[in-house]
Amino acid sequence: MSTDLLDKGYEPHDVEKRWYDFWQQEGLFSAEETGDRKGYAIVIPPPNVTGVLHMGHALNNTLQDILCRYRRLRGDNVLWMPGTDHAGIATQNVVERQLASEGTDRHALGREKFVERVWEWRKEYGGAIINQLKRMGASCDWDRERFTMDEGLSRAVRKVFVRLYEDGLIYRGNYIINWCPRCHTALADLEVEHEELDAHLYFFKYPFPDSDEGITIATTRPETMLGDTAVAVNPEDERYLNIPAEEVILPLANRRIPVIRDTYVDMSFGTGGLKVTPAHDPNDFEIGRRHNLPAVKAIGDDGRMTAEAGKYEGMDRMECRKAVLKDLEAAGLLVKIEPLKHSVGHCYRCHTVIEPNLSKQWFVKAKPLAAKALAAVREGQTKIIPATWENTYYDWLENIRDWCISRQIWWGHQIPAWTCEDCGEVIVTMEDPTECPKCKCDRLVRETDVLDTWFSSALWPFSTMGWPDEAPLLRTFYPTSTLITGFDILFFWVARMMMMGIHFMGEVPFKNVYVHALVRDENGQKMSKSKGNVIDPLTVIEEYGTDAFRFTLTAFAAQGRDVRMSVKRVEGYRNFINKLWNAARFSLMHLETAYPDMAEADISLPDRWILSRLDRVTRNVRETLDEYRFNDAASAIYQFVWHEFCDWYLEAAKPALYGKRGDAAQNATRSVLWRVLRETLILLHPFIPFVTEEIWHKLPGTEGSIMKAQYPSDNPDNQGIFHMPEAESRMNTAIATITGVRNIRGEMNIRPSMTLDIRVQSPDAETRQVIEAQREMIIDLARLSSLTVEEPGERPKSAATAIIENATIFASLEGIIDFAQEEKRLAKEIAKVEKEMAGVSKKLHNEDFLAKAPPEVVEKVRDRHSGFLEKHQKLQSNLEKIRSFVN
């Protein structure tokens, strides 16, 4: 027997750091730049440098790690490219808060010193999430870790900007952008979070000159009226065909503005009249361009009213709203106010209400780039999984607007554009210019804006691999194999990587995109601090270990369904880890060395059965992982380990392992046990890497890390020789017989220590032969005193029955059960259940409870009632059986 045994209990904290350090020291995460092996690459969605590990990161990186470890076992040359994103707005906000606590600000420091301060912060705090990913077991190629502001990526960003500008795909112009008055920067459409709010729709009149009549409009933002330059009506709206004038008076400003006709106006909304504010609404901006309207900016970048707002100048926009409404009412022009629920945009960083504002910004012309990104998915060059996300991807790209890429902050890639002070020439180059190429003036002013963070991360699949240089890494690993991402950045990141990858590399950046769902709480609610339902991954890992946490996430990661996470579920999968540990510990007690394969004729039915089941589950896990059905893969291996290997095979193998069936049987079973344990560890390793590595090093005949093992289905020696359906069928008959006896014990409340006399009747000769051949195992595992196998005949007296396929099992209860006493016990149990069920039923018939209790509470009460009902039916059935034996 092996003397190198596992400890009595598995302690993850003693194991995880030791093995993670070992993997890194041995360079087991490192990819080879070149070589004959097939390349497999994943780029990590770069977490923000300000980030800490949350459930979304935990799920995303667990799934990536499973694929990378699985592909290494399959023999691929795997590159899992890690890194972090500089997160422009978020990081600047963090450092600005630090400065404020010190009584200063970035303007006092100046741009250069402020950027130095951010780099210092990044050096001290920016690696937190990387260390947390390592706690999760992430096997990234950390030697190649990248940062979106590092020198190589910065050069790639500049190259892309210059090329796009030269291609006519980047321009600078006035446009309506989403402006955050708090962060003082533009935001892309995708950086605006919309929230349903209770608001109001305000109706007020724009009078015709020298008339009491006018056009009534409806708006949710009356303060913007101070920037109105027209009122629009639909040309087909009969209400406005014969108006007394083609101008109206802009209330409070006493300025004449034209009445224009445009088919954009929705005749069914409000009164059919639309105030047009080109400087403060994207749709109005387009109307203004069509009708050559001036754009009056009434709200400034600080959220306060400008000089164009007249007497309201300097007011906060919300304060101005109240003042405008008061003055409109005083002038008799406020018609009515109606309550309204509508979607209001907020800054995704500080949650301030966004102000659509006219501004000079830098833009990418998105439509030409989007066309190729659309075609790539439609033509199958890139596959989105699940396919349900394809329509969302198509819809966004088909309706894409130009991408505002400039941000009015200091932390980020400063836009490489200069303006000549003399002639106004704009210069965009790879190297900093010293003079204007047009007029030779040396007074050049650099653009102060930086690029949108998503601009640099859109280049991630190729910039991280050495582009724009001819890097070996690019030749080996681009395009990457798989991208795993959350649906929330399908547009922020995935679509933009597609556009940039195709434009600059000439092919898609990845072959497959797997979109995983959200991790919610156990009731299906989104986790949030305000609800108090956030589960901290690191807290869970600390209590239950990384492997249990990873397996829980994987087991519930079904395609298209959100993951419902609860600590109880993690506790359940910790039990699975412990089950595996104990099974391995028992197995190692009987394994002294690596064992050669035995001829099929020399091994028992349980041995042949477990080998066949191992063959089947190996192929199942491989197929499900190849199809990104992570939960199905986890379910298959869980079922095999817990129920087939531990519950059945190890129990059936014990007589042979303990030498009760002779040396030949013992050696044959040891050989099978060694192989099954070895290959099961390899199958499990991508899911639970730490415990499998620990057991692997205790298993005789293994060398080095389990990460360097060969996946079972890829071993030429394994090709189908262990596929034995007949052995599975015969073993299933024996298992069904044992299970039938155990069910009788449970139903009749028979103690496990009591042995039973069993008769099995079957009309099928083969079934009888199988049961007879496995008599010894069935007697042992079912705890029988006798087993009779016969053709169907007279039903034995006072016998409980269990029906299996092709057979009926009879267990004699004479002398086993005191029928009168059992009848009393069951009657008492039934009365108890009926009392408990009545209390729950009373709640479910209480209308007040059903109306006021949270849905999850009502659901739990319904579940309790169903449980009591099921138990009542079972007890009643058993009582009737006992009475039938007495009679």
Are 805 and 824 members of one domain?
Answer: no
pLDDT over 80 at 769, yes or no: yes
pLDDT at residue number 4:
63
Angle between helices 546-555 and 55-73 (to 10 degrees): 90
Residues 6 or more apart whose CB falls under 8 angstroms from that of 694 comprise 6, 10, 15, 19
Helix runs in 484-629, H state only:
496-505, 537-544, 546-555, 567-588, 605-626
135 found inside a domain: yes
pLDDT over 90 at 208, yes or no: yes
**Tell me: the pLDDT tens digits for 629-651?**
999 999 999 999 999 999 999 99
pLDDT at residue number 716:
56
pLDDT at residue number 95:
93
Q: Report the b/e string of 87-97 with b at 16+ CB within 10 A.
A: bbbbbbbbbbe
Are 559 and 385 spatial neighbours (Cβ–Cβ below 8 Å)?
yes
Are 747 and 620 members of one domain?
Answer: no
Are 96 and 228 members of one domain?
Answer: no
pLDDT over 50 at 2, yes or no: no
Are 192 and 264 members of one domain?
Answer: yes
Are 737 and 684 members of one domain?
Answer: no
Residues 6 or more apart whose CB falls under 8 angstroms from that of 96 comprise 105, 106
pLDDT over 90 at 838, yes or no: no
> Checking DSSP bridges between strand 807-812 and strand 756-761, what pairing results, if any?
antiparallel
pLDDT at residue number 822:
67
Q: Can you tell me which residue has the tokens 């595996």?
A: 580
What proportion of the chain, given as a percentage, has pLDDT over 70? 98
Q: How many CB atoms lie within 10 A of CB 311?
A: 12
Whole-structure pTM value: 0.83
Are 207 and 121 members of one domain?
Answer: no
Domain edge (last residue) among 817, 842, 865:
817
The domain of 745 spans 729-817
Q: How many CB atoms lie within 10 A of CB 499?
A: 26
State how far the Cα of 745 lies from the Cα of 498, in Å rounded to an integer: 62
| Residue 365 vs residues 163, 371, 490: alpha-carbon distances, Å | 13, 11, 19
Are 86 and 207 members of one domain?
Answer: no
Peptide bond between residue 46 and the one before it cis (omega within 30 degrees of 0): no
Are 257 and 231 spatial neighbours (Cβ–Cβ below 8 Å)?
yes
State how far the Cα of 623 lies from the Cα of 630, in Å rounded to an integer: 10
**Tell me: the pLDDT tens digits for 91-108?**
998 998 899 999 998 889
Are 658 and 756 members of one domain?
Answer: no
**Tell me: the pLDDT tens digits for 349-368?**
788 888 888 888 899 999 99
> Checking DSSP bridges between strand 355-364 and strand 214-219, what pairing results, if any?
unpaired
320 found inside a domain: yes
State how far the Cα of 829 lies from the Cα of 816, in Å rounded to an integer: 20
790 found inside a domain: yes
Give the H/E segment covering residue 862: helix 855-886
**Tell me: the pLDDT tens digits for 260-274?**
999 999 988 878 999
Are 219 and 342 members of one domain?
Answer: yes
Q: For residues 663, 666, 669 and 673, what is the CA-based torsion angle, rounded to 10 degrees?
A: -130
Q: How many domains does the chain have?
A: 5
pLDDT at residue number 714:
65
Are 763 and 621 members of one domain?
Answer: no
Tell me how long the chain is.
Answer: 887
Are 533 and 527 spatial neighbours (Cβ–Cβ below 8 Å)?
yes
528 found inside a domain: no
**Tell me: the pLDDT tens digits for 492-537?**
899 999 999 999 999 999 999 999 988 888 788 887 777 788 889 9
**Mean pLDDT value of segment 559-565:** 83
Q: Is 529 annotated as a binding residue?
A: yes
With 0-12 CB in 10 A as exposed, 13-18 as middle and 19+ as buried, what is 314? middle
CATH of the domain at 381: 3.40.50.620
Q: Which of 455, 446, 450, 351 is nearest to 409 (CA)?
A: 450
Domain edge (last residue) among 498, 516, 534:
516
CATH of the domain at 603: 1.10.730.10
27 found inside a domain: no
State how far the Cα of 692 lies from the Cα of 580, in Å rounded to an integer: 9
pLDDT at residue number 721:
59
CATH of the domain at 779: 3.30.2320
Q: Which of 467, 475, 481, 476 is nearest to 510 (CA)?
A: 481
Q: Is 399 left (phi over 0), alpha (psi -120 to 50) or beta?
A: alpha
Q: Is 161 or 752 the better-scoring residue by pLDDT?
A: 161
Are 190 and 305 members of one domain?
Answer: yes
97 found inside a domain: yes
State how far the Cα of 443 lies from the Cα of 429, in Å rounded to an integer: 16
555 found inside a domain: no
Q: Which pairs from 24-31 meet CB under 8 Å and 24+ separation?
A: 24/142, 26/705, 28/139, 28/705, 28/707, 28/708, 29/80, 29/139, 29/140, 29/141, 29/142, 30/141, 30/143, 31/77, 31/78, 31/79, 31/80, 31/141, 31/144, 31/473, 31/476, 31/477
| Residue 658 vs residues 1, 667, 764: alpha-carbon distances, Å | 11, 11, 34
**Tell me: the pLDDT tens digits for 15-55?**
999 999 999 999 999 999 998 899 999 999 999 888 888 89
The secondary structure of 808-832 as a DSSP string is EEEEE-TTT--HHHHHHHHHHHHHH
CATH of the domain at 229: 3.90.740.10
Are 438 and 425 spatial neighbours (Cβ–Cβ below 8 Å)?
yes
Peptide bond between residue 606 and the one before it cis (omega within 30 degrees of 0): no
863 found inside a domain: yes
Are 206 and 301 members of one domain?
Answer: yes
**Tell me: the pLDDT tens digits for 54-80?**
898 999 999 999 999 999 999 999 999
pLDDT at residue number 394:
95
